[in-house]
Chains A and B, each alone.
Chain A
């Protein structure tokens, strides 16, 4: 869901490069979908983190060969992730507020472009951190087997 949110904001970024009324309508739609996906990731990912990860995955990673996968990466990921839904709402709010003014105003357009691409980068960095955490879990399981 987080990746879908990232792709939605990549869509916003592309629409905003050269906006027209039609493109701005699509950008608003993409930003709205992005907000829904990121809030969905917040709820679903949060449920997994609170109910499963802490009880079963975290102790295994911490006892494994790369405990920093939890102590640094998970801890950073779980907290920095919280920025994303608010940044998504920020972009969606600006798009709703200024609507077609973006065609004339380069400064407003730049604001949406910068935050949108940072949402994309941050959301994909969450996926990258997820990969490191999974690797930490796998390494811990392999160490137990050997």
Chain B
């Protein structure tokens, strides 16, 4: 099976932001954290499962998408999501700790 680079880029980028969103919403909303925990037995395992399933589903959804000629442009989305997402998570926990 030929891999679709556009589907790969979209699924990776969206999953990074999904992890960021689940992390922050989970800290701010106890019911959300508990519902995620129910999926995997622990909130972290739940987030892992949701992220993995979303990655596969998104990839399959976009598997027929037309691939871009410029792969590097797609990679910039992945890279900037990774850097920005990581900084947002770190900043959120710093602020959460200082505010506690």
Task: Enumerate chain A interface residues (CB-CB to B < 8 A).
Answer: 42, 46, 49-50, 54, 67-68, 71-72, 75-76, 78-80, 82-83, 86-87, 89-90, 93-94, 96-98, 105, 107-108, 110-111, 114-115, 118, 122
In the bound complex, CA of A97 to CA of B85 (Å): 26
Are the C-beta atoms of B44 and A83 separated by less than 8 Å?
Answer: no
Give B13-25 as 1s and 0s: 1 = Cβ < 8 Å from A's Cβ atoms: 0011001100100
In the bound complex, CA of A93 to CA of B67 (Å): 13
Note all chain B residues with C-beta closer than 8 A to A50.
Answer: 41-42, 44-45
B62: min CB distance to chain A, Å: 13
How many B residues touch A, CB cutoff 8 Å?
39
In the complex, which of the residues B41, B45, B86, B97 contacts A72, with contact meaning CB atoms closer than 8 Å?
B97
Task: Enumerate chain B interface residues (CB-CB to A < 8 A).
Answer: 2-5, 8-9, 11-12, 15-16, 19-20, 23, 41-42, 44-45, 47-48, 51, 55, 70-72, 74-75, 78-79, 82-83, 85-86, 89-90, 93-94, 96-97, 100
- Residue in chain A with minimal CB distance to B22: A79
In the complex, which of the residues A72, A76, A83, A93 contacts B82, with contact meaning CB atoms closer than 8 Å?
A83
Q: Can you report 23 residue pairs joining A to B where beta carbons are below 8 Å apart?
A: A46-B48, A49-B44, A54-B42, A67-B97, A72-B90, A79-B89, A82-B19, A83-B16, A83-B85, A83-B86, A86-B51, A87-B78, A87-B82, A90-B78, A93-B5, A94-B5, A97-B2, A107-B71, A107-B72, A110-B72, A110-B75, A115-B75, A122-B86
